[in-house]
């Protein structure tokens, strides 16, 4: 590839990243915004997404570096250009000369107002290029107050900072091997059985996807089903199943699975994933609050809807889109789902409650409240060999956080508890 071609590809991705950041500023999620990059070649689309992700992870840090260099805060589109260029130079080690020239060009191309701002962008970015030491001294992006408050109150300031550092690092790609798969599964094996590949690995470029030799699932998310310990032939309902990572694990263990979700379109993804991996399950579109099986079940998996604050490494836009206001509604729904899930279990049956949340209100507090409401329910010991003693909470739940396994690249935030109804 000659140099001019390379530059053209790079600039298409940068313009794509600016489109994504603008849509996210307007309230879209990164996945929703991705449709805007539909015209880009796949490699540029992937690079635009990565640039946007890396910028969102360091937005506050970039703003703190830029603030003293700006006489007044520029218009949002110019601010996005400055942030993106700052992150490219200081976090992604892109050569300053090329970055400055490109973003000055993109500023100029953004219309009459852009022409007027180009000189300022040029001057500021040249100062940014000299700012590596100041950049290194800035703390990672803080979690929003509604999340940081409970995190600090529960685990302390040092843990909050470690979580924030993990958020900035982003997430590796984790695969769950299909036990019935034929080919080797790429990546390094983790103690929990997942395989890990570096952040930014393109899923479509990996062997074994079409043949269903593995599926994408964060290592923490993949821990819930082993803790339920499904057995061949057991009748198990996965009450909030889509897109189906845990349904696949349950089916792979030989259970008779009913996969339920309130969203028909999301349930269609469960069907696709089951077909690709060669498993089957009964699929039901229904509200888990009211659905009842024809007879009580051996086990239930309740991966409840939640704030998803455990997934900020992969969705750094999430803290900007949410303000914690819907939390009471979610915790109320989770409690009602727990009560209903217990009511469809046979005596002696097990239930795993899980949320991809960092908030104790959606994890530890739900477990305590459920035990208070249900004197006939006990917490099952967490017997899986990958569980480290320090991860187990006072009441016997499993607390997973992005700052755990730092030497391996972290994991999503999750809370998992296994309950047993008395026989």
Ligand X SMILES: C[S@@+](CC[C@H](N)C(=O)[O-])C[C@H]1O[C@@H](n2cnc3c(N)ncnc32)[C@H](O)[C@@H]1O
Strand-pairing partners, residue 195, are: 175, 189
Helix (H) or strand (E) holding 414: strand 414-421
Q: Is 242 annotated as a binding residue?
A: yes
Strand-pairing partners, residue 197, are: 173
CA distance 90 to 311: 25
Per-residue contact string for residues 305-344; x = within reach of ligand X by CB under 6 A: x---------------------------------------
Told to judge if 356 belongs to the known catalytic residues of this protein, a careful annotator would answer: yes
* Residues 370-389 within binding reach of ligand X (CB under 6 A): none
> What does the DSSP assignment read for 257-308?
EEEEES-HHHHHHHHHHHHHHT---EEEES-TTT---SS-EEEEEEE-----
> What does the DSSP assignment read for 66-132?
HGGG-SSPPPHHHHHHHHHHHHHHHTS---HHHHHHHHHHHHHTT-HHHHHHHHHHHHHHHHHHT-H
Residue with tokens 């992937």: 46
Taking the complex as a whole, the smallest distance from the CB of residue 211 to ligand X amounts, in Å, to 20
- The catalytic residue among 277, 306, 356, 418 is 356
The one among 235, 246, 313, 399 contacting ligand X by CB under 6 A: 246
* Residues 208-237 within binding reach of ligand X (CB under 6 A): 221
- Is 70 near ligand X (CB under 6 A)? no
DSSP-derived secondary structure letter, 406: G
User: Among all residues, whose Cβ is closest to ligand X?
Assistant: 240
Q: Is 244 annotated as a binding residue?
A: yes
Quote helix, strand, coil % in the chain, to nearest 5. Answer: 50, 15, 35
Q: Is 246 annotated as a binding residue?
A: yes
Pair 364, 393: CB distance under 8 Å: yes
Taking the complex as a whole, the smallest distance from the CB of residue 330 to ligand X amounts, in Å, to 10
The one among 114, 212, 245, 410 contacting ligand X by CB under 6 A: 245
Q: Is 245 annotated as a binding residue?
A: yes
* CA max distance for the chain: 75
Q: Is 243 annotated as a binding residue?
A: yes
- Is 241 near ligand X (CB under 6 A)? yes
Q: Is 365 annotated as a binding residue?
A: no
The one among 151, 242, 252, 257 contacting ligand X by CB under 6 A: 242
Taking CB under 6 A as the binding criterion, the range among 1-9, 88-96, 241-249, 404-412 that sits at the site for ligand X is 241-249
Taking the complex as a whole, the smallest distance from the CB of residue 95 to ligand X amounts, in Å, to 41
Pair 26, 80: CB distance under 8 Å: no
Taking the complex as a whole, the smallest distance from the CB of residue 308 to ligand X amounts, in Å, to 7
Taking the complex as a whole, the smallest distance from the CB of residue 29 to ligand X amounts, in Å, to 14
User: Three-state DSSP class for 387?
Assistant: coil
Q: Is 62 annotated as a binding residue?
A: no
If we measure between CA atoms, which residue out of 193, 396, 223, 369 comes closest to residue 301? 223
- Is 360 near ligand X (CB under 6 A)? no
CA 328 to mean position of chain CA atoms? 22
Taking the complex as a whole, the smallest distance from the CB of residue 268 to ligand X amounts, in Å, to 11
Per-residue contact string for residues 265-304; x = within reach of ligand X by CB under 6 A: -x--------------------xxx-------------x-
Residues annotated as catalytic are 356
Known binding residues: 240-246, 261, 287, 303
Residue ranges that bind ligand X, judged by CB under 6 A: 221, 240-246, 260-263, 266, 287-289, 303, 305, 356
């Amino acid at each position: 590839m000659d140099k001019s071609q390379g530059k053209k590809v790079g600039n298409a991705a940068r313009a794509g990243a600016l489109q994504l950041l603008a849509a996210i500023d307007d309230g879209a999620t990164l996945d929703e915004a991705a449709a805007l990059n539909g015209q880009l070649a796949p490699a540029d689309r992937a690079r635009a997404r990565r640039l946007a992700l890396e910028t969102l992870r360091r937005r506050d840090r970039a703003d703190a570096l830029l603030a003293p260099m700006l006489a007044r805060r520029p218009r949002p589109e110019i601010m996005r250009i400055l942030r993106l260029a700052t992150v490219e130079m200081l976090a992604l080690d892109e050569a300053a000369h090329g970055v400055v020239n490109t973003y000055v060009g993109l500023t100029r191309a953004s219309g009459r107002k852009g022409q007027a701002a180009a000189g300022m962008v040029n001057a500021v970015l040249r100062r940014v290029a000299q700012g590596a030491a100041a950049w290194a001294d800035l703390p990672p992006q803080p979690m929003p107050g509604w999340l940081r408050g409970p995190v600090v109150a529960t685990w302390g300031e040092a843990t909050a900072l470690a979580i924030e550092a993990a958020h900035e690092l982003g997430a590796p790609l984790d695969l769950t091997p299909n036990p019935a798969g034929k080919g080797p599964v790429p990546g390094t094996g983790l103690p929990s059985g997942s395989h890990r590949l570096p952040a930014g690995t393109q899923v479509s470029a990996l062997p074994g996807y079409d043949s269903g030799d593995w599926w994408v699932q964060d290592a923490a998310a993949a821990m819930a089903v082993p803790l339920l310990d499904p057995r061949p032939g057991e009748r198990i309902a996965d009450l909030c199943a889509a897109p189906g990572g845990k349904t696949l694990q349950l089916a792979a263990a030989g259970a008779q699975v009913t996969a339920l979700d309130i969203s028909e379109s999301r349930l269609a993804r469960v069907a696709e994933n089951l077909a690709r991996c060669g498993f089957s399950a009964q699929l039901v579109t229904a509200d888990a609050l009211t659905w009842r099986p024809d007879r009580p079940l051996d086990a239930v998996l309740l991966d409840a809807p939640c704030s998803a604050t455990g997934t900020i490494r992969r969705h750094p836009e999430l803290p900007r889109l949410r303000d914690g206001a819907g939390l009471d509604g979610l915790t109320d729904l989770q409690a009602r789902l727990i009560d209903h899930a217990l009511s469809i279990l046979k005596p002696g049956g097990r239930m795993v409650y899980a949320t991809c949340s960092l908030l104790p209100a959606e994890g530890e507090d739900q477990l305590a409240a459920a035990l208070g409401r249900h004197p006939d329910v006990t917490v099952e010991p967490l017997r899986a060999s990958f569980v480290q003693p320090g991860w187990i909470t006072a009441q016997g739940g499993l607390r997973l956080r992005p700052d755990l396994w730092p030497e391996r690249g972290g994991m999503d935030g999750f809370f998992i508890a296994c309950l047993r109804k008395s026989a």
